[in-house]
Structures are given as structure tokens and as C-alpha cells.
Amino acid sequence: MTPAPIILRRALPRVCIIGGGIVGSATAFFLARGGCPVELLERDTVGSRASGVNFGGVRRHGRAVAELPLAIRSRAIWPRLRELIGHDCDFETPGHLKVAQTEAELEPLARWAAIGRAHGLTIDLLDRGQLRRDHPWLTHDLAGGSFCPGDGYANPRLVAPYFARAARAEGAVIREGHPVLAVEDTAGGGFVLHGPLGARHEADVVVNAAGAWGGAIAGQLGLDVPMVSLAPQMFVTEPTTRRIGPVLGMVSGAIYLRQSVRGNVIFGGGRGSVHPDGLRSRPAEDVFERSPALVRALIPALAGVPLIRSWTGIEGNTPDGLPVIGESGGRAGLIHACGFSGHGFEMGPGVGETLRDLILTGDAGLDLSAFSPDRFAVPPAIRSA
Amino acid sequence: MPVEAAPCVAIIGAGPAGLRAAAALVAAGLRPVLLDEAPEPGGQIYRRPPPALRPALAPAKLYGPDASRARALHEGFAALAGAVDHRPGTMVWNATNRDAGGFRLMLHHTSGLRSALDCDALILATGAMDRILPMPGWTLPGVWSLGGAQVMLKGQANLIGRRPVFAGSGPLLYLIAGQYAAAGGTPAAVIDAASFGAKLRAIPWLAARPAVMLRGVAMTALLRARGVPLLEGCHADRIEAADDGLRVHWSGARGTGFVTGDAVAIGHGLKPEHLLADILGCDRRYDTGARQWLVHTDAEGRSSQPGLYLAGDMAGIRGGHAAETAGELTALAALADLGRAAPGRPALRRALIRQDLFRKGMERAFPFPSDRVADLPDETIVCRCEGIGAGDLRQAIRLWQPADVNRLKAMTRCGMGRCQGRLCGDIAAGLLASETGRHVADVGSLRGQAPVKPLPAGRAEAATAIVP
């Protein structure tokens, strides 16, 4: 049986959001604008984790089919950030170019192009010659590529903080340095969240937007969301001649790269290590060798440009690489939005808008079934075996 | 990537601290690895000109009264040839703590070769760099750091200008102005924020090393005799480009005015080069005398990380003489911790205590003008790598009320450039403290990240195929 829309259970649900990344902050903003009393509880500082240190890609190109409607919905919000939250967050749309190293890699590009076009996107497939003509800065060894205009990037360090700031202006309460120590079900169908120094937060709806730590929060509430913490490693070079137009990705996924307005080349590839405490991560030695070498092979003109910094962030990855979004069948009013498996930045604003609709109207506006929090649940028969 | 078998002790930096540490380890029968970025040993203070320029730059001219020390260090180290695994032209760009204990150092050689080196004990003798209080115009062409002006002279036998203005604070102003005068330059003026009174009041501490103190007095007398205006107790407020050169506007004890030169060298003391210690997780403390963060050590140079030792200016600015003492003492401490005989430490500790008293005197005589940070004009560039001004920082501080300076960096890009926040980090922290009514020790300091210096492509990377 479909649960009744939350709005019908109580006129204005009190919403408590766990986690102040881009997902939590955007959700707080859209809900507060929708009139909900919202409280956002962030363990550290808003946007200081994966939301603030990721690559900054705003990309629909090549997304998993299940994510595409949400990615497209989110992309529509990005150009409105100045109007919505008071800052454009350095959003730029030079397009996204995915390149194939082998003829075999052209096949998935062609297959995805058909899917993208069916969703209304413009996708230009480039053969070897066209790629070389349009993007002469790339190595000439590539087999071809696929270009999606309208994709781009934004400044990850600004997005969550500006969403949280705008949410506060709409009346949301944003608490930083405020970890959730325990979540308790109350007899009346609501929740009590316990914070530091005996702080208690009562809520009708809880949104678990705790990113890589969302699995642990779900576990506290009896829901098994298997999640692995990984630490993608990023690099930035000294500023150099502006020659790289689009955001670049490889079909193999080995490297993703863009050039900032100031000329720095920012790229990701490989993974660092996550500290056993799950809270810290650091770059890995072998990645320091491998990823820059790949970039220099891909873009020969970068051969002499030194690296100035490398960093990692912690993201939560699910077994199927899709996020966990929606209400858990086992507990009405408990909504998960975590485990974005590296896709949370682009989709964050769209998730916020979608969860607003879900919470206020009962209708998310798009199909979230592929993201069901219950999809990993082990049948009781197997669990007892 | 080749990984070498563990040597016992590695030293980073071949200045006076590193060279003396190496000698002490050799004397104990070890063969230390000495890693240094420069092509030849000596560090910044005893930097040697390239061979072709040596006839023009005799040690007496380059190092002044320290020429005999410089010669002793250079010749002493040459005598150790073979006993030390000396690797010039080698940058240590990252370091990690090994699970089994000890450290792994990531090396980049000027040839482009990369390797990793494992060691059981590590002595950081990475020295110091210029500390600068920015002012409007400090990023103009023709404005140098004091250290840069000295490198130009010692390393290139060249002057930054024929009549440069020396401005800032600290004994290096007089030392380098003197070296320029000796090398044929005509310093236009020395503008020193430190007042004569402060120097007088520091005499009880400076008297711990009377010879060094008198040498400073002689240096200023020499400049005065040459007619170089010495503006003590005056701040360089801003620099502007004029038709006749660079104009340094000053104000202070002697009213206001400006001096024109064909170049400007600025510096307000020195700052330990501690990024590797940060990356390895060493505890730090804010030193109220030095007015900056220092890596915490015990009296013999042990850091909070077992097996990791600090010597020389990177552990606190005490100068070249003390660096030699600390280098030897630290090496002996490492030997003792490795279970070897390490006699003579008490005498070295006593010598260091005397040098510490002198350091306290220098901090009193030439305090870093941290009180001026709060009043930096908005248009002052603070982070020159990213072009972030004091006004940009103030605006971000008002908007975000950052809890610490790393958050301020995230919101503004201040400190994200090629210098890794070495120059701007403390200034940004000072602004954050003053704008939010906190003590600078309570707003933290920028976290170190690898690579500690811009890392060029390695030769091992000459990959032709893209293989993920």
C-alpha cells in the first residue's frame, strides 16, 4: 500500500535533515521555501566534505539511464542559482566531451547517444578526424568522442554553503559542528534526533543526507544500505595557456579533467586511501605517478606544467553505483538521500527540489524506484541462514 | 617506481643544520642520506655561486664575518665525501608515515627521475623563507623579497638594482643592504619597522651573544658611514611605480615621506619551512614571541612523531650559528634513540639555551608587525598566486564567519596557489582573527598538502600509451 503523502499526516511537517552537503543544503533550501520548518544538522561545516572538494562536474552526458531524468531536472536549476541562492557558484557550460581510446569504446558512446537524444539532449558523435579537428589539443591517438553541449562545471566549495545560507534566509535552522548521535523512533510516528550536549530535535520527517556516512545512519534505523567509502583523488596544476574548452572525460573513466578560467587544469583519476576512522583520507603514492602521466599522454601540451596540489574526498558508493533516494518502505517519514557514488554534485539541486515535492505533495515528480533504499534488503530467509 | 632498501637516517636540507647533522652521524659510523634541492651544499645562508662566478664572489665578500664558518662547513663536508649519501638537486615533495615505523620520502630529481626512499629516522633541516607583511604595490615588477635579493647576489652575482630600497623589519635588512653595498650597490634607504627603543630594550637578551650583537651594531654603522638613510621605527606603507623608479611611502617615528629606488627588497623576518612536518602529523604550537606557528620539539629537536627530528631555522628562527649547534644535537638525539652512544649533548643543549636567549632578544628587537595586519588597506593583495586582496578576505569573513583559516581558504581561494599559502596563510589568519575579535592562535593555520612544492613531470612518466 502506498503511504499517504506526508503533507496529509500533518499540515506542515517538521523536517530534520542529517548532513549539510549539497544534497542536505539544497533540500533544506527548497523545503524552507516551501514553508516547512527545517532543521539541518551538520557534523562539521556545511559543504566541507565530498560536496566541497569534488571535481565540480555538472554533467548529464553518459549518466546511468536511471539517473538521467533526475540529472536533467537538476541541470535546469543550475543556471538559476544566482536568482535562487544569490550566487552563480561559478557555473560554466563549455560542454562535456567524452573520448574513446579504441574503436571498441566508440560503441558505448553511440549507444548512449541514442539514449541521451531520446531524453531530449543534443549529442554530437565525433569520429577520429572530427575530434582532431575540433579539439587539436588532444593526443591524436584517440578513436573518437561524444560531445554534449550545455554540460559544464561549477565551484564545489561555494554551492552547499550558498544553499545553506539561502535556506537560513528562508527560515531554516542550520547547525554546524552538530553531529547526530542517535535517531529514535517515537510512539507518535515521529522522530527524536539526539545531538551533542543533550540537544534533542523532534521531527515528523527525517532526511538522511549524510553522504558516505548515510549507510551508518540508515543502519541505526534498521535499514541495511551497503556502502563503501572511496576517496577519489584530485589534482590541480599551475595556471597555463587556456586551450581546453570542454570538460573532458574518458570512456574508460581513468581521467576527468577541466581547465579553470584562471588556467589551472583540474583533474581527477585514481583513488587515495581512506583512514580506518572513515573520516579522513589522503592521496595515494601510486596515483601521484599514474594519473598525471595519463593526463600528459592525453594532452601533450601539459607535459611541462607542474602540479601544485592533490587532494581527496570521501564518497559513499553503493553496490550498483546508484544513489539511495526515497522513503524506506519500513518507516514512513524516513527519507534517504545518500550514497551518491560520486554523482551527487550535479544532481544535488535536483534532489533537493524532488524531495521537497515528495515531502510536501507525496509525488516526487519523477520515478525514484531505481534508487529505492530497500533494494539491498536481504530477504529474511537468507539473513537467518 | 623503484623503492630503495631502508637506510638508517635521512636528512632533508644541506644548510648548516643538515651538514652538521650529517657530520655527527658519520662520526658515529652511519652513512646518512642527505637530500637537498640545491646543486651544492650550504643552504640559503652559505649558498655558493656557480663555479664560473666564484672568482668574482670571494667568501669574504659573500658571507662577511661568517666567511670562515662558511668555509669550514663547505670544506668539512667535502672531507666527508663518500661517507655521506649526498643527493643534490633532489626535492622531497611528499612524505608518509610507514605502518612499520619510519618514513617514506617521495623524491624528484632535477633530471626528472623519481623515486621513493624509506628511512627509519628523519631529520628535517628544511630552513626558512621570507616572511612578508604585504602592502599595496608589493606585487609590482621590481619588488623582491629580501631572500630573493640575496639569492640574486649569492647565486647569480647580480644585483636586483643599483639603488634598491630595503624595507620591512629584521636584521636581514641591514645584513643584505650591507652585502649590496659591498658588492657595488648603493642602497637608497633601509626602512625598518623596528624602533631604536625596542632594540635598546632587547639588549639584556641580545647580550647572551655579545659578539653577534656588536656585529649588528657595526653593520648599521657601516651603512650609516656610507650615507645610507636608516629609517628606524618606520613602516613601508605602500609601493608605487613612478617615472623615476619605485617609490616606497613610509610613515612612523620620523613622520612620513617616500624613498625612490630602482628596485625594492622587502622582508619582515623569516618563517620556518614546515610543510613536510605538517604532512607527517607533527604537533605545532603558536609561539607568542615569534608571532607564528612553530613545530613543537623537545630541547634536543624531537618532534611529536617518533623518529622525526627538526633542526635549524625550521624549528624556530635562531640563525645559522644555532642551526649548526641544533644540527649536531639533533643527530645525537637520533643516535641515542637508535640505541647508539651519543656523548656531548649537555654542552650542546647549554649552547642552544644561550642562542635561544639571543633569539628572544631578536624577537623583541624586531617583532613581526602583526598589529598592522588588521589595518591593511582593502586593495592590498594578500594572496598573490590567486590575486586575493585584503578586501576580498574581509568580505568573505563577514559573509561566512569562518571558524578557521582553512575555511576562509575554501571560500576565497586564498592560499590555493603555487606557494601553498606559505606567504599569505598567516596574513589571512591575522585578518580573520582581527575581523572576528579572536586571537590569531585561535583561528588555526593552513593545512599542508602534497606536493609541498610545484611538482614537474617525472621522467618515469614518459608513457607513450594511455593505460589506465
A147-184 pLDDT per residue, tens: 999 999 999 999 999 999 999 999 999 999 999 999 99
Inspect the interface and report whether the beta carbons of A294 and B450 lie closer than 8 Å. Answer: no
Question: Is the confidence at residue A10, as pLDDT, over 80?
Answer: no
Question: Is the confidence at residue B53, as pLDDT, over 90?
Answer: no
Question: Is the confidence at residue A87, as pLDDT, over 90?
Answer: yes
pLDDT above 90 coverage of chain B, percent: 84
B158-178 pLDDT per residue, tens: 999 999 999 999 999 999 999
The pLDDT, as a whole number, for residue B398 is 97
Q: Does A177 touch chain B (CB under 8 A)?
A: yes
The pLDDT, as a whole number, for residue A346 is 97
Query: What Å distances lie between residue A194 and A179, A181, A182, B206, CA to CA?
Result: 9, 5, 5, 58
Q: What is the ipTM of this complex?
A: 0.92
Inspect the interface and report whether the beta carbons of B466 and A141 lie closer than 8 Å. Answer: yes
Question: Is the confidence at residue B14, as pLDDT, over 50?
Answer: yes
CB-nearest partner of A294 from B116, B407, B468: B468
Question: Is the confidence at residue B214, as pLDDT, over 50?
Answer: yes
Inspect the interface and report whether the beta carbons of B403 and A45 lie closer than 8 Å. Answer: yes
Question: Is the confidence at residue B33, as pLDDT, over 90?
Answer: yes
Write out chain A residues lying below 8 Å of B461, CB-based: 289, 292-293, 296
The pLDDT, as a whole number, for residue A380 is 55
Q: Does B225 touch chain A (CB under 8 A)?
A: no
- Mean pLDDT in chain B? 93
Task: Give the contacts of A26 (CB within 8 A, at least 6 positions apart).
Answer: A160, A163, A348, A349, A351, A352, A353
Helix, strand or coil for residue A371? Answer: helix
Question: Is the confidence at residue A8, as pLDDT, over 90?
Answer: no
Whether residue A290 contacts residue A307, with contact meaning beta carbons closer than 8 Å, is answered with: no
Q: Does A20 touch chain B (CB under 8 A)?
A: no
C-alpha span between A259 and A248 (Å, rounded): 9
Q: Is the dihedral of CA B53, B55, B56, B61 positive or negative?
A: positive
Inspect the interface and report whether the beta carbons of B410 and A48 lie closer than 8 Å. Answer: yes
Binned at pLDDT 50, 70 and 90, residue A222 comes out as: confident
Give B240's strand partners.
Answer: B247
Inspect the interface and report whether the beta carbons of B457 and A296 lie closer than 8 Å. Answer: yes
CB-nearest partner of B461 from A52, A238, A292: A292
Residues within 8 A of B (CB atoms), A 285-304 only: 285-286, 288-289, 292-294, 296-298, 303-304
The pLDDT, as a whole number, for residue B124 is 98
A124-159: b (≥16 Cβ within 10 Å) or e: ebbebeebbeebeebbeebbbbbbbbbbbbbbbbbb
Whether residue A18 contacts residue A210, with contact meaning beta carbons closer than 8 Å, is answered with: yes
Question: Is the confidence at residue B228, as pLDDT, over 60?
Answer: yes
- Mean pLDDT for the stretch of residues B66-91: 93
Write out chain A residues lying below 8 Å of B458, CB-based: 289, 293
Residues within 8 A of A (CB atoms), B 303-362 only: none
The pLDDT, as a whole number, for residue B253 is 86
Binned at pLDDT 50, 70 and 90, residue A329 comes out as: confident
Residue (of B368, B427, B393) closest to B134 by Cα position: B427
Whether residue A49 contacts residue A314, with contact meaning beta carbons closer than 8 Å, is answered with: yes
Inspect the interface and report whether the beta carbons of A288 and B450 lie closer than 8 Å. Answer: yes
B263-317 pLDDT per residue, tens: 999 999 999 999 999 999 999 999 999 999 999 999 999 999 999 999 999 999 9
B111-169 pLDDT per residue, tens: 999 999 999 999 999 999 999 999 999 999 999 999 999 999 988 889 999 999 999 99
Inspect the interface and report whether the beta carbons of A308 and B456 lie closer than 8 Å. Answer: no
Q: Does A48 touch chain B (CB under 8 A)?
A: yes
Question: Is the confidence at residue B254, as pLDDT, over 90?
Answer: no
C-alpha span between A167 and B418 (Å, rounded): 35
Nearest chain B residue to A307 by CA distance is B455
Question: Is the confidence at residue B454, as pLDDT, over 50?
Answer: yes
Whether residue B125 contacts residue B277, with contact meaning beta carbons closer than 8 Å, is answered with: no
The pLDDT, as a whole number, for residue B462 is 40
C-alpha span between A203 and A17 (Å, rounded): 9
Binned at pLDDT 50, 70 and 90, residue A349 comes out as: very high
Written as nine digits, the cell of B21 is 647533522
Query: What Å distances lie between residue B90 and B19, B86, B280, B456, CA to CA?
Result: 16, 10, 19, 12
Binned at pLDDT 50, 70 and 90, residue B468 comes out as: very low
Whether residue A335 contacts residue A6, with contact meaning beta carbons closer than 8 Å, is answered with: no
The pLDDT, as a whole number, for residue B164 is 98
Q: Does A252 touch chain B (CB under 8 A)?
A: yes
Written as nine digits, the cell of A344 is 551527487
Inspect the interface and report whether the beta carbons of B468 and A177 lie closer than 8 Å. Answer: no
Whether residue B67 contacts residue B60, with contact meaning beta carbons closer than 8 Å, is answered with: yes
Whether residue B43 contacts residue B127, with contact meaning beta carbons closer than 8 Å, is answered with: yes
Rg over CA atoms, chain B: 22
**Secondary structure, 3-state, chain B:** CCEECCCCEEEECCCHHHHHHHHHHHHCCCCCEEECCCCCCCCCCCCCCCHHHHHHCCHHHHHHHHHHHHHHHHHHHHHCECCEEEECCEEEEEEEECCCCCEEEEEEECCCCEEEEEECEEEECCCEEECCCCCCCCCCCCEEEHHHHHHHHHHHCCCCCCCEEEEECCHHHHHHHHHHHHCCCCCCEEEECCCHHHHHHCHHHHCCCHHHHHHHHHHHHHHHHCCCCEEECEEEEEEEEECCEEEEEEEECCEEEEEEECEEEEECCEEECCHHHHHCCCCEEEECCCCEEEECCCCCCECCCCCEEECHHHHCCCHHHHHHHHHHHHHHHHHHHCCCCCCCHHHHHHHHHHHHHHHHHHHHHCCCCHHHHHHCCCCCEEECCCCEEHHHHHHHHHHHCCCCHHHHHHHHCCCCCCCCCCCCHHHHHHHHHHHHCCCHHHCCCCCCCCCCCCECCCHHHCCCCCCC
Inspect the interface and report whether the beta carbons of B410 and A310 lie closer than 8 Å. Answer: no
The pLDDT, as a whole number, for residue B73 is 93
Whether residue A58 contacts residue A156, with contact meaning beta carbons closer than 8 Å, is answered with: no
Query: What Å distances lie between residue A369 and A61, A325, A372, CA to CA?
Result: 21, 9, 5
Whether residue A353 contacts residue A359, with contact meaning beta carbons closer than 8 Å, is answered with: no
B361-416 pLDDT per residue, tens: 999 999 999 999 999 999 999 999 999 999 999 999 999 999 999 999 999 999 99
